[in-house]
Structure 1
Amino acid sequence: MSFDRLLGIDVGFSQSRPTTGIAWSVAGEVDAARTYTDWERRQQKIPPATTFSVIAIDGPLTPPDAPDDLARLCERLFIRGAFQTRCKPGLSHHGYGRALRKAAAETAAQVSHLAAATPIGQSVIPGAAIIEAFPNAFLGVLLGDERFALSKAAKRKKFDWLYDHAIESGVFAELLQFIGWNDERMLERLTVERDHERRAAWICLLTAACAAAGKAEVVGDEAGGWFWLPPAELWADWARQALAENRAARMCSRPLARAAGQTQPPLTS
């Protein structure tokens, strides 16, 4: 299994600060950097003359014809139950979420020429191996229930709280071993990283690696796109149960919606 030519991007969309994180694995080397949103400066941080087999972007990616107000199934499945206080996403069809959806689409357009032309599994970007990462859930589903019984992080610091607990609980080493990426340098970089944006980019890179290994758990549908998450075998019991319960609740709500004359996208995983 090759984990060469992988790219992870944490979008960020500040116009004045370097809030974009970029991480890559190329020619046996792994590294990460912070930069800005414009392509002129972003491309300076990406290894040149590289076609990436998988690019994972932290931002809501929808099909080109999806309406701006589309409520995405993948987001709905992670905003209720145990996920609500542990690793829920923002909804990308209103408010701040729409701005993030736009920024993610712009990022995908910037790097689409760098992506392999053959999509990998479920992909909403035509003719490009670009997938959606969701770092909070990626980390959250790997952490045991006991971790969340500890003091809670403030909402704005949730990702770093999850990341710190991932380091403490050793889930990074377990994940890398499971997908077959036996690279001590990668584990070291994950463990010592303290920068918020670079941390997010590393999780995007891990998302790309899970996809490249064919071991990612993919949740969503064709209408709204998919979250690409760690292998289901590594999920904590509470996370498996929460997703199963939310899927069941969603299925139960569909007849009620049809009776009220509403339409919903098909439920898939």
Structure 2
Amino acid sequence: MNAGDVNLLGIDVGFSKSRPTTGIAWSVEGSIGATKTHTEWERRKQHLPPAAGFSVIAIDGPLAPMGSPESLVRTCERLLARGLFQKRCKPGASHFGTGLQLKRAAHETANQIRHLAAAPLFANAVFPDVAIVEAFPNAFLGVLLSDQIFAANQIPRGKKFDWMYEKAIETRAFIRLMSAIGWGTPDLLQRVEAERDHEKRAAYICLMTAACATTGEAEIVGDGTSGWIWLPPAQVWAPWAREALEQNRIALPSRSHP
């Protein structure tokens, strides 16, 4: 499927009850946009573009199969938390603490928008009836950056995502990605490169995740028991990231395979 021919939605969940921490980005009939809003549905739905539905929706937040115990330790998180991933772009554990809060918020978001999602045309759907996939912007960006970039720079504390986002722009990583999946426009690239808002930036990465899922080119990390994280195609990964993931897969084989 060509991602340019379908409607796509990306949501950076956020779970503040008082501040607008939800970023939303979309591609609808070739029109690109992004906004920021609050967590409750009544406010969120006012900011969604007018569209009958979306072929794929990507949510930045842990998504485990329905009925999974909250204490479930997820394979995708373990695979992306070892070795070089640990200091560069690892996910937090979603079975306790803040990670568990985010997982609850992600599932709440999925329930809010599931009526807008089409049936999945791909395998590895965490919810069998809707095309909703899990994005993880830090890893999405991290695997696009070279070993030299990480080795030569001190990442500002608490600013890792924005630092990686800006490095991806500097190294033309978004251009390489869009070329690899055959999706994206000059308008999208301009918006992505000009964006300074943290939540909107994250939403754009979620939108790119949805595009990767739509084209069938995404690298999918995880298993059927605990869910998957969707990342850019392996062909655009930096060598260190491909090697680190392979090493982690050998050390921590999935409980079930896609």
The residue aligned with 1:16 is 18
Identity of aligned residues (%): 58
1:50-79 Cα shifts (integer Å, max 9, x gaps): 210000000000011110000000000011
The residue aligned with 1:254 is none
The residue aligned with 1:220 is 222
Shift of 1:93: 0.4
Which residue type is aligned with residue 135 of structure 1? P
1:122-175 Cα shifts (integer Å, max 9, x gaps): 111231000000100000001111110122223421100110100000000111
Pick from 246, 265, 268 the counterpart of residue 257 of structure 2.
Answer: 268
Asked whether the equivalents of residues 54 and 212 of structure 1 are also in contact (C-alpha less than 8 Å), the reply is yes
Which residue type is aligned with residue 90 of structure 1? G
Asked whether the equivalents of residues 56 and 205 of structure 1 are also in contact (C-alpha less than 8 Å), the reply is yes
* Residue-pair matches, total: 256
What is the 5 A alignment of 1:183-202? 183-202=185-204
Pick from 243, 248, 264 the counterpart of residue 245 of structure 2.
Answer: 243
Pick from 59, 69, 72 the counterpart of residue 71 of structure 2.
Answer: 69
Unaligned runs of at least 5 residues, structure 1:
252-264
1:110 aligns with 2:116: no
RMSD of Structure 2 on Structure 1 (CA): 1.2
Tell me, in whole angstroms, the C-alpha distance in 1 between the residues paired with 2:10 and 2:110.
11
Shift of 1:121: 2.1
The residue aligned with 1:167 is 169
Which residue type is aligned with residue 213 of structure 1? T
Tell me, in whole angstroms, the C-alpha distance in 1 between the residues paired with 2:98 and 2:75.
18
The residue aligned with 1:123 is 125
The residue aligned with 2:88 is 86
Tell me, in whole angstroms, the C-alpha distance in 1 between the residues paired with 2:183 and 2:230.
18
Moved over 3 A (4+): none
Tell me, in whole angstroms, the C-alpha distance in 1 between the residues paired with 2:51 and 2:195.
27
Tell me, in whole angstroms, the C-alpha distance in 2 between the residues paired with 1:128 and 1:75.
22
* Greater C-alpha Rg: 1
Asked whether the equivalents of residues 77 and 246 of structure 1 are also in contact (C-alpha less than 8 Å), the reply is yes
The residue aligned with 2:211 is 209
